[in-house]
Amino acid sequence: MIAVFSFCFSVLADSQNTIGKLDDLGRIALNTWVPDQIEYMPAASKSNLGNKLSQIATRYGMGASELLPRFIITANVVIQSKDITSTAPPMHALTVDITIYIGDGIEGKVFASTTVSGKGVGENETKAYTAALRSLDPANKNIQKFMEEGKRKIIAYYNSRCDIIIKEAQMLESQNRFDEAIYVLMCIPDVCLDCYNKAMDAIGPVFQNKIDWECKAKVNAARNVWSAGLNYNAANKAAGFLASIDPEAACFNDAVALTGEIAKRVKEIDGREWDFILKKEIGLERDRIKAWRDVGIAWGTHQPQNIVYKSLW
């Protein structure tokens, strides 16, 4: 399957250096991942480390999204010293180096990293780890620089792969996988302004082909169920297909003609009016963009997230 890229667009950005509306389809999103192979780290401490990484990503508007799995923020912890104090009662003392990474967790490519040293003392090793992890302060200036560098590198990643991503979407479109194609195009963040604009230009024709293809299928399905019954119940079954046809679809007039044919026949054989009315209003441009966005979200939401992350160190 085509690799699904992990960021999506927001509606209307006005700067390459400004993150847009902070939702699943409007920002660069980093998924937190704490690998199993961090040596000697207790399970509770791994959970604590994951929370710290999530706090950092959220602080800088890059919190995780289930729809966007590719890019991650992760960490490795190296113990520099581990001692038992001579105090009463004896305490566990740890000195650690915590290196945090932003990268492509599928390809194992690092975009940015920084190391923070920490010390912790506690009644047991888990509490000592918890104390040491407090050094991961989201407001730390080095962490701020690290997040900014990671964002820049991700933008560069998209700008360098823009033509490849658009070609992948076009291939999906040629296979009638329209929803997936729209998702891939929307997976270009608005901070990558040039590539984002190319994607926006490409989405319109894909969406038009989608509604044209669906219109033909729905008109044919409606005609078949109507022909099979030629009665009021069959008319209502046909309406179930016709109701969701987009008024901008190329075969919309065929849907109008079939609706008129059904209404006339129902009147003749049943002596009553068939009160079904096709949706004919055409929305504004912002409604069309929302429709694109809804298609992308719907496709991404229903995909299994079988992601295998690679360590970034």
Q: What tokens were used for 78? A: 């190296």
Per-residue pLDDT at 67: 72
pLDDT on residue 27:
66
> Confidence class of residue 115 from pLDDT cuts 50, 70 and 90?
very high
Higher pLDDT among residues 11 and 237, named by residue: 237
Q: pLDDT tens digits, residue range 238-278?
A: 999 999 999 999 999 999 999 999 999 999 887 778 888 88
pLDDT tens per residue, range 7-56:
343 332 333 333 333 344 546 889 999 988 787 788 889 999 999 999 99
Q: How confident is the model at residue 133 (pLDDT cuts 50, 70, 90)?
A: very high
What is the CB neighbour count within 10 angstroms for residue 199? 25
Task: Please compute the mean of the pLDDT values over residues 169-195 and round it to a whole number.
Answer: 91
Residue 146 has pLDDT above 70, yes or no: yes
- Averaged pLDDT, 112-128: 93
Q: Where is pLDDT greater, at 193 or 5?
A: 193
177-204: average pLDDT: 90
The pLDDT of residue 72 is above 80: yes
In this prediction, residues 87-113 reach a mean pLDDT of: 93
Q: Mean pLDDT, the chain, as a whole number?
A: 85
pLDDT score recorded for residue 7: 34
Per the structure block, which two tokens stand in for 256?
Answer: 């109008």
Share of the chain above pLDDT 90, in %: 57
**Whole-Å CA distances, 311 to 53, 103, 138, 278, 285:** 15, 9, 22, 54, 43
Q: In angstroms, rounded to a whole number, what is the distance separating the alpha carbons of residues 281 and 219?
A: 19
Average pLDDT over residues 186-199: 86
Residues 6+ apart with CB under 8 A from 274: 232, 235, 262, 263, 266, 267
Written as one string, the DSSP assignment of 79-107 is EEEEEE-SSSS--EEEEEEEEEEEEETTT
* pLDDT above 80 for 184: yes
Query: Where are the alpha helices (H) located in the chain, listed in sequence order?
Result: 43-59, 125-133, 141-174, 178-186, 193-229, 232-242, 252-270, 285-301
Indicate the pLDDT class of residue 192, thresholds 50, 70 and 90.
confident
Question: What pLDDT is recorded for position 230?
Answer: 92
Q: Supply angle C-alpha 50, 51, 56, rounded to 5.
A: 100
Q: For position 10, what pLDDT does the model report?
A: 33
**pLDDT score at 17:** 35
Sheet holding 92-104, edge to edge: 31-33, 71-84, 92-104, 109-122
Q: How far apart are CA 190 and CA 186, in angstroms?
A: 9
DSSP state of 248: T
pTM to 2 decimal places? 0.76
- 158: tokens are 């998209």
Q: Which uninterrupted H or E stretch holds 115? A: strand 109-122
Please say if the pLDDT value at position 203 is more than 50: yes
